Amino acid sequence: MALIIYDSAYGNTKRIAEAITETIGASARCILIDDIEKVNLNDDLLIVGCPINAWHPTPKIVEFLKSLSPSQLSGVSAASFDTRIDSIFSGNAARRIASGLKKAGAIMVAAPQAFYVKATAGPLADGEIEKAKEWARSLMKVMHNTHAVLAG
């Protein structure tokens, strides 16, 4: 049902991706971008996240987004996130990820989400794991409501 694809430099984004996966439960799979060739992208919900790398998503996430054909994610619900320092100078990789997913036909079900680290290498700021879990719960609520409307 849900596929979480992430890239991580210091393990902070991995921790967020794992918290999201754990919260969604058994219907979720979490995969490092390095293993993307082994994955089918036709899940109901696709979540993509990475740390900010010079104001942009990491090169591997950018490459993945560029590899998607214009209609490859047609009908797939999607969401994006990044990990960053809490600064106006950090950039917004999540917004760029969302743009790439939309270009591939995905329907964004949430605004791009930021999770904060205390320094470049981390650790995560206080409360960010719980924030990730709450965000995952909100995504599942949107998905449930969407399926209820379509079924109804």
Q: What is the pLDDT of residue 147?
A: 54
Interatomic CA distance for residues 92 and 7, integer angstroms: 15
Segments making up each domain of the chain, as ranges: 2-151
Q: What is the pLDDT of residue 145?
A: 82
Q: What is the pLDDT of residue 146?
A: 67
Interatomic CA distance for residues 53 and 59, integer angstroms: 8
Question: What's the CATH class of domain 2-151?
Answer: alpha beta
pLDDT along the chain (152 residues), means of 10: 95 98 96 89 92 92 96 95 89 95 96 96 97 97 70 44
Q: What is the pLDDT of residue 38?
A: 76
